[in-house]
A and B are shown apart, each in its own frame.
Chain A
Amino acid sequence: MSFFVLSRQENEAYRRETMKNRTLNAITCQAQTGKGLARCILSAFIAILSGFCNAAIGAGGGIVLTFILAAFFADAFEDRRAILATTQAAMIPGCLTSALIYYARGGLDLSNFAVFALPALLGGALGSLLLDRIKPGLINMIFSALVIWSGFRMVR
């Protein structure tokens, strides 16, 4: 359709193509080879590191998990969108726990949060719908650019 947007047919063709020969066994420790074990250990370490980043720094856990899954485990996912979806789902319990700890320690004032809660729900839903219409290469480019930008913000 255009450089940025996938048509419905293109999206379906992309899904069919990337689903070939791909399985989640590579990460879920069903592979009994040494390589499979190494991947299990690496994925476990990255998952722990992502939770650590969220708790210690307050952000970045999702970036770590997405980046490592995309760099080393891309063959285990249907496509880039499945990696992003998996990361989002996996980060929720950790983020909720971190937020509760912030709240318990008095570091989180929720009196104004209602203003952000509804837009967060609506925006999150719309974003996941748009994910189907944006080319994976473009998503990767935006993600990488935001990662670099976030890095410079943290170093400054």
Chain B
Amino acid sequence: MGLDFSTLVAAAVSFFIAILSGLGVGSGGLFVIWLVGVYGVSAPQARGMNLLFFVFSASAALIFHYKRRRLDPKLIASLAALSLLGTLVGTHVAQYVDAALLRKLFGIFLIISGGYSLLPKALAKIKAKF
């Protein structure tokens, strides 16, 4: 990928995805789909790049979160340490478990949890109107 039009488009799209990441609304899916769909990057490669992309965008966002005193260092340290433990366990377990099955199970969890979060509020708003 040289410094040409496609590079500029890549930079612009990744900039907008990073804004979503900075907003904390979950941009990983978009970045992976974009890399796989547009650039033909393999799924494992896209997942790896997505993880690194998040590290960059979240690190920049943290500076402003810190200035606004939204961060509790003790809480974050404990959550991060446990998450790291989960990462190491997940890396080991992933070698023995069907990744496609894991993705489907996780997808079902996301649909249920997203619906649980979105639908009651939407229904309450509709009820309030009648």
Interface size of A by Cβ–Cβ distance < 8 Å?
93
The range of chain B's interface size is: 35 or more
Kindly provide the distance from the CB of B48 to the nearest chain A CB, expressed in whole angstroms: 3
Chain B residue contacts of A58, Cβ below 8 A: 28, 32, 44, 46-48, 50-51
Contacts of B74-94 to chain A: CB distance below 8 A: 74-76, 78-91, 93-94
Chain B residue contacts of A92, Cβ below 8 A: 54-55, 58-59, 62, 80
Q: Do A55 and B56 form a contact, CB below 8 Å, given A116-B14, A120-B14, A127-B22?
A: no
Q: How far is the CA of A55 from the CA of B88 in the complex (A)?
A: 7
Whether A86 lies near B71 (C-beta < 8 A) is: yes
Whether A123 lies near B59 (C-beta < 8 A) is: no
Tell which of B49, B76, B106 touches A57, judged by Cβ atoms closer than 8 Å: B106
Tell which of B25, B46, B88, B102 touches A139, judged by Cβ atoms closer than 8 Å: B25
Residue of B nearest to A84 (CB): B24
The main secondary structure of chain B at its interface with chain A is helix
Q: How far is the CA of A103 from the CA of B47 in the complex (A)?
A: 11
Binary interface encoding of chain A residues 106-143 relative to chain B, with 1 for a CB under 8 A from any of its CBs, else 0: 01111011011111111111111111101001011111
Q: How far is the CA of A85 from the CA of B68 in the complex (A)?
A: 10
Q: How far is the CA of A153 from the CA of B75 in the complex (A)?
A: 32
Whether B107 lies near A151 (C-beta < 8 A) is: yes
Whether B62 lies near A150 (C-beta < 8 A) is: no
Chain A residue contacts of B12, Cβ below 8 A: 119
Whether A147 lies near B114 (C-beta < 8 A) is: yes
Chain B residue contacts of A51, Cβ below 8 A: 82-90
Whether A115 lies near B11 (C-beta < 8 A) is: yes
Contacts of A15-65 to chain B: CB distance below 8 A: 24, 27-28, 43-44, 47-63, 65
Chain B residue contacts of A127, Cβ below 8 A: 18-24, 57, 61
Whether B90 lies near A54 (C-beta < 8 A) is: yes
Kindly provide the distance from the CB of B45 to the nearest chain A CB, expressed in whole angstroms: 6
Kindly provide the distance from the CB of A52 to the nearest chain B CB, expressed in whole angstroms: 4
Whether B24 lies near A95 (C-beta < 8 A) is: no
6 examples of A-B residue contacts, CB within 8 angstroms: A58-B32, A61-B83, A93-B84, A94-B80, A119-B14, A124-B56
State the B residues within 8 Å of A (CB): 1, 7, 10-12, 14-26, 28-29, 32-33, 44-65, 68, 70-72, 74-76, 78-91, 93-94, 97, 99, 102-104, 106-118, 121
8 smallest beta-carbon distances between A and B, as pairs: A127-B22, A123-B18, A51-B86, A58-B47, A154-B107, A84-B24, A55-B90, A151-B110
State the A residues within 8 Å of B (CB): 24, 27-28, 43-44, 47-63, 65-67, 70-71, 78, 81-82, 84-99, 101-103, 107-110, 112-113, 115-132, 134, 137, 139-156
